[in-house]
Amino acid sequence: MSDWHQGRLGRAVTAAEAQLLNGAMDDIFGLELLQLGVWGSGRELLQGSRTRHQSIVASSGPLPAAAADLIANPAHLPVATGSVDAVLLPHSLEIEPDPQAVLREADRVLTGQGHLVVLGFRPWSLWGLRAAASHHGFPPGLNRLISEQRLRDWLILLGYEITAARHYLYLLPYESGTPGRGALRRSLFNPLPAGAYLLKARKRNYTLTPIRVRRREHAPMLGALVNPTT
């Protein structure tokens, strides 16, 4: 996959996604943003982050120089529960063998009002058709493609609220042509259906307020007479 990222099409996809994330993460603040998985040749996707710190977790190597801050299994992160303000999954659910375990682990490390941003390729697109026709996946290394609706269902079951959705990548999945702004917007020169999507969701933790059962107060009895009360 690193070779694909160095190619013209891979660089165009990464640049388009970095621009897209620059706007999507405009209202995400806090101390820490965690990117699960290395995507691109460096830290391009984190350029628009407004959190104080950004960290990249990689599952294995070889890795580009200074691309990862931590080597760990994305399904078993050495990160404290509820300590991260935002998690970015750049096609990580399509690469890792157990996407639901990765999603649950991202949910575990997020704070109560944390943000989750996911990038994915659309199965019913030219990109999805090429991935299905390839023996090694496309881009190389992808195990599966997860539809936007399926991901929405997973997030809703985990108690998330979908706050934004965006379709992009109006490009042919080939090196031919000159990728430009059509990667993000459909136009007369790019009438193709979108090849990828972005989903942004916010974690919702509702605190349950226990209801105290009021005891029925019985008037104390003195002999056969009732005590005087106010």
Q: Output the pLDDT for position 65.
A: 44
Average pLDDT for 203-216: 65
pLDDT higher than threshold 80 for residue 62: no
Give the Cα separation of 94 and 157 in Å (integer).
Answer: 19
Torsion sign across C-alpha atoms 92, 95, 100, 101 = negative
Q: Output the pLDDT for position 51.
A: 95
Q: Output the pLDDT for position 218.
A: 56
Whether the ω angle into residue 140 lies within 30 degrees of 0, i.e. cis, is no
pLDDT higher than threshold 90 for residue 213: no
Q: Output the pLDDT for position 180.
A: 56
Give the Cα separation of 90 and 110 in Å (integer).
Answer: 17
| 172-185: pLDDT as tens digits | 888 765 555 557 77
- Min mean pLDDT across 22-36, 57-71, 105-119, 212-226 is at 212-226
| 3-20: pLDDT as tens digits | 888 888 888 899 999 999
Q: Which domains does the chain have, with CATH numbers?
A: 2-209 (3.40.50.150)
Q: Are 227 and 221 in contact (CB under 8 A)?
A: yes
Q: Which residue has the tokens 């030219």?
A: 126
| 193-208: pLDDT as tens digits | 899 999 999 998 755 5
| 65-92: pLDDT as tens digits | 457 899 999 999 999 999 999 999 999 9
